[in-house]
Amino acid sequence: MVKRWHKITFVLFASFILVTCIDPYTPDLRKFESRLVVDALVTDEEASNYVRLSQTVEAPDDAALPISGATVTISDDLGNTTTLEERYPGDYRTDSLLFRGIVGRTYTLHIETTDGDVYESEPCIMYPVPGIDSLYYGRDQLFSEETGTFNEGITFYIDTRDETAGSYYRWSYDEWWKFTVQEPKTYDYINDSTIIPLAEIRSTCYAYNRSNTIDIENTFSGHSGDFIKKPVLFVSSSESDRLMIQYCVEVRQMSLSAREYEFWHLMTEINKAGGDIFDKQPFQVFSNITNKSDGDDQVIGFFQVSAVETKRMYVTYREIDELDLPMYYYDCGRIEKGEVDYPPPGAGRGLTFNMIYAAFLNSGYTFIKPIYTPEGELYRLAFVWPECADCTIRGSLKKPWFWVDLL
């Protein structure tokens, strides 16, 4: 907040330009070759399966370019073929009512781009997956390398049992939480004589996040196949507002083939090696998708085929409060300023409300409401950081379709 206040002072009372000239260093990298990137998943869930196609670009900070107009199909070992529809640029989906993966079947992905390139995956079997016996949580703490301290919170665990030897698994999760902003915007400032109340106050929203970690295990090397109190996710009670009202997590347990398990294992090793472009990559990550007309064209990504079991649970603020955990602190940086705070210097003119509003707006603050004197005269304007004024900056006003309010 101190830094932002210095910025406000700077905007109100001074203006200067600081120019720094730095000669950029451009590394001499090997010749760039664009590659097809495939993110594809087929499951036995009652949901649309997806194939996302994109193309790598040379600039490291640029997002991959989506590939549109491709013909994407999935065939099985019984001769059935399903054509996917492009819902968004580069995002192809199956019809959830017409296609659903079946355990024991073998699936193959086919892609033909508008350039005439034809890609095909290896045949992939959908292996069975056991159910999740239970999902639960317990108080825990986790060391933060960023702060050098332990964060307190809760860890979610699962119990699952598999009597089949030689199985491979991957776990992921989706999380949702209900939250409110502490200083909701209730008025719009037009000018010092026109300040109107908002028709819609965006104070309560629902946030969503999907796991981006690689969590895999197998039942080889003497493992019994029983995963008891397996940790899946740690949620700090003081690092975010996830646990302030109501929180929901859904854990997905997925079957893997040996080849897909190796793919995820190699991805884990590369993540450990670091992501710097000057790092020597320990190995080339293979794909199970090839260009049928050009064997030297390496594809990035993997065609995933998995049976899935899920388990969902809610946690309320009341349950977190019973654990006596430290809670999240909202630092909204609220500032109230008016003409009275900027009197005329000598014979000059002081700052007007319009000037004050413009200065705070240009410095990244959001106006939330006016403050009046007992006589009804405009006295000050209240400002906060945007994320404290509008919940849609971090979430959605739309409640998840399955959500049940427990409080």
The pLDDT value given to residue 223: 61
Residues 180 and 330: beta-carbon distance below 8 Å: no
Cα–Cα separations (whole angstroms), residue 151 to 49, 96, 142, 249, 318? 37, 41, 5, 20, 20
Residues 303 and 38: beta-carbon distance below 8 Å: yes
Picking from 163, 167, 258, the residue whose alpha carbon sits closest to that of residue 219 is: 167
* List of residues 6+ apart from 270 with CB closer than 8 A: 281, 282, 283, 285
Distance CA 176, CA 259 (A): 32
Collapsing DSSP to helix, strand or coil, 193 comes out as coil
Token pair recorded at residue 130: 């056991």
Residues 256 and 306: beta-carbon distance below 8 Å: yes
Cα–Cα separations (whole angstroms), residue 403 to 106, 203, 207, 318, 356? 35, 18, 12, 18, 42
- One-letter amino acid at 32 equals F
The pLDDT value given to residue 111: 97
Q: What is the dihedral of CA 36, 39, 44, 49, to 10 degrees?
A: -80
Question: How many CB atoms are located within 10 Å of the residue 341 CB?
Answer: 12
Helix axes 353-362, 2-13, angle to 10 degrees: 130
- One-letter amino acid at 356 equals I
Distance CA 86, CA 214 (A): 28
What does DSSP say about strands 215-218 and 168-180: parallel, antiparallel, or unpaired? antiparallel
Distance CA 392, CA 188 (A): 17
The pLDDT value given to residue 10: 43
Picking from 38, 119, 20, the residue whose alpha carbon sits closest to that of residue 303 is: 38
**Residue whose token pair is 């089949």:** 164
Cα–Cα separations (whole angstroms), residue 311 to 145, 175, 384? 30, 12, 39
* List of residues 6+ apart from 168 with CB closer than 8 A: 127, 216, 217, 218, 219, 255, 256, 257, 258, 260, 261
The pLDDT value given to residue 61: 57
Left (φ > 0), alpha (ψ -120 to 50) or beta: where does 249 sit? beta
The pLDDT value given to residue 58: 73
Per-position pLDDT tens, the chain of length 407? 444 554 554 444 433 233 333 444 444 445 557 889 999 999 999 999 999 999 988 765 566 799 999 999 999 999 999 999 999 999 999 999 999 999 999 999 999 999 999 999 999 999 999 999 999 999 999 998 888 889 999 999 999 987 666 789 999 999 999 999 999 999 999 999 999 999 999 999 999 999 999 999 988 765 667 899 999 999 999 999 999 999 999 999 999 999 999 999 988 888 776 544 444 444 566 899 999 988 788 899 999 999 999 999 999 999 999 999 999 999 998 999 999 999 887 666 789 999 999 999 999 999 999 999 999 999 999 999 999 999 999 999 999 999 999 97
The pLDDT value given to residue 154: 98
Picking from 344, 327, 193, the residue whose alpha carbon sits closest to that of residue 247 is: 327
Rounded to two decimals, what is the model's pTM?
0.84
Please give the backbone phi and psi of residue 390, each rounded to the nearest 5 degrees, phi first.
Answer: -140, 110
